[in-house]
Amino acid sequence: MTETDFILSNFDVSKASNGSVTWKTPSNIALVKYWGKQEPQIPENASISFTLDACFTLTTLEFRLKKKRPVTGSEFNFEIFFEGEKKEDFKPKIQKFFERIEQYVPFLKDYDFIIKSRNSFPHSSGIASSASGMSALALCVMSLERLLNGAEMTDEYFNKKASFLARLGSGSACRSIEGELIVWGNHTEIEGSSNLFGTKFPFKIHENFKNYHDTILLVDEDEKQVSSTVGHQLMNNHPFAQQRFQQANDNISKISEIIQKGDLKQFIKIVESEALSLHAMMMTSNPYFILMKPNTLKIINKIWEFRSKTNANICFTLDAGANVHVLFPESEKESVNNFIINELIQFCYKKHYICDIIGNGGTQLIVKNEQLKIGY
Ligand code: PMV
């Protein structure tokens, strides 16, 4: 599929004049990381992630057809409320998102929107909410598209286009539409993979990876000093960029086999190496920066100690921050949970942590729609 397949040409705004759609959409955690991109949000290498479940954003998009129509060359009209409060400072990001997606969903300027959003995790937890937030909004926009041109759209197209739109808001958001394992970025060995949207891992997932756990240890709840936008940009002139992109693509091939075979030991090696390679890129860019904190390293060392003592299949990964994602199979949850509580949460900010598990992607909760009345 190409970009033009996502341009909506046939639609009738009178089919939805006043209503709302609500989606609950999770975050995701990359096993093989995306770090480095080209315009417009095209990844330099393929990535693969576990879709999460407990860390989600709940978004309602209220829409009302503008009275003065047709609308030509006007502005997007929207208000945004986050956790009940009006947020003017969130507007530029949404404005940019609307500008980027407008050519694919040309009905946006026909409506006045109110966006109401909340997260299941604390806003200041250091957990990036862009993946769950942008994917939830993209799904809401797609539900509106479905009301306007409905009948012909398959679920497969709906999900692909939602992922395509979410990507234009935040790259990793395109991996939050569906579960349980999503690949984003062209890769010769992953059938159906694309730079434009995320696709479900096309092979059988071994039982060992069913209900895999991700306990997120909140080491630092402050805003990151370097945004991922800046981090991605720093890959443009990075001395190790090409080797890194090659390494990630090779790791996709390896992890694909590992996931099919259920090889937990090899899984651990790839996942931890990926996390440290991501942070190595940050430490070797110009300017360089470090997002890990002393407690991040303490946790990593504790995990290594516990693993060598017990042979447990526990490992860590990191995203662009100091928090540690502790990954482990369902069959080992009791011993690992005890270890986390007894030995790791002391390193968390105010002992905060979140127990999450592999999930299935977005869920549509409510659709309300009044159609245009004659004489409106
Ligand atoms: O989607 P962005 O632009 O916030 O970038 C996400 C980058 C990482 O979280 C570090 C890695 C990834 O693949 O999710």
How far apart CA 117 and CA 23 sit, in angstroms, is 10
Question: Confidence band (pLDDT; 50, 70, 90) for 225?
Answer: confident
Task: Decide if pLDDT at 68 tops 80.
Answer: no
The distance between the two most distant Cα atoms of the chain, rounded to a whole number of Å, is 75
Token pair, residue 106, equals: 């040309």
- The yes-or-no verdict on residue 136 having pLDDT over 80 is yes
Q: Which secondary-structure segment (H or E) carries 217?
A: strand 213-217
292-313: per-residue pLDDT in tens? 999 999 999 999 999 999 999 9
Question: Which atom number of ligand 1 is nearest to the Cα of residue 32?
Answer: 13
Which residue blocks in 262-331 are alpha helix, DSSP H? 264-283, 294-310
What whole-number distance in Å separates Cα of residue 114 and Cα of residue 61? 6
Give the C-alpha separation, 118 to 166, whole Å.
Answer: 17
Q: Which of 29, 183, 319, 324 best tests ligand 1's pocket when mutated (most atoms within 8 Å of CB)?
A: 319
Position 376 scores a pLDDT of 34
Ligand 1 site-directed mutation target among 29, 31, 34, most atoms within 8 Å of CB: 34
Any atom of ligand 1 within 6 Å of the Cβ of 176: no
Q: What does the pLDDT read at residue 372?
A: 59
Burial class (CB in 10 A: 0-12, 13-18, 19+), 2: exposed
Q: Is 186 left (phi over 0), alpha (psi -120 to 50) or beta?
A: beta
Residue ranges of domains in the chain, CATH in brackets: 3-10+17-199+360-370 (3.30.230.10), 206-357 (3.30.70.890)
The closest-lying atom of ligand 1 relative to the alpha carbon of residue 128 is: 4
For residue 12, what are the CA distances in angstroms to 161, 183, 255? 19, 34, 45
Nearest CA to ligand 1 atom 4: 228
| CA 116 – ligand 1 centroid, Å | 24
> Does residue 343 register a pLDDT over 60?
yes
For the residues 74-80, what does the mean pLDDT come to?
93
Taking the CA of residue 47 as reference, the ligand 1 atom at the shortest distance is: 13
Q: How close is the Cα of 266 to the center of ligand 1, in Å?
A: 23
Structure tokens at 197: 């949207």
**Residue 375's pLDDT is what?**
39
Cα 11 to ligand 1 centre (Å): 34
Measured between alpha carbons, how far is 5 from 246 in angstroms, rounded to an integer? 29
320 lines ligand 1 (CB under 6 A): yes
> Hey, is 183 helix, strand or coil?
strand
Confidence category of residue 220, pLDDT binned at 50, 70, 90: confident
Tell me how far the alpha carbon of residue 172 lies from the centroid of ligand 1, in angstroms: 5
Confidence grade of residue 151 (pLDDT, cut at 50, 70, 90): low
Residue 130 in contact with ligand 1 by CB distance below 6 A: yes
Taking the centre of ligand 1 as the mean of its atom positions, its distance from the CA of residue 36, in whole angstroms, is 9
Mean pLDDT of the region 342-371:
93
Please give the distance, rounded to the nearest whole angstrom, from the Cα atom of residue 206 to the centre of ligand 1.
26
In short, whether 170's Cβ falls inside 6 Å of ligand 1 is yes
41 lines ligand 1 (CB under 6 A): no
What is the chain's mean pLDDT, rounded?
94
Instruction: Write the residue with the smallest CA distance to atom 6 of ligand 1.
Output: 172
pLDDT in tens, 348-358: 999 999 999 99
Q: Is the CB–ligand 1 distance for residue 228 below 6 Å?
A: yes
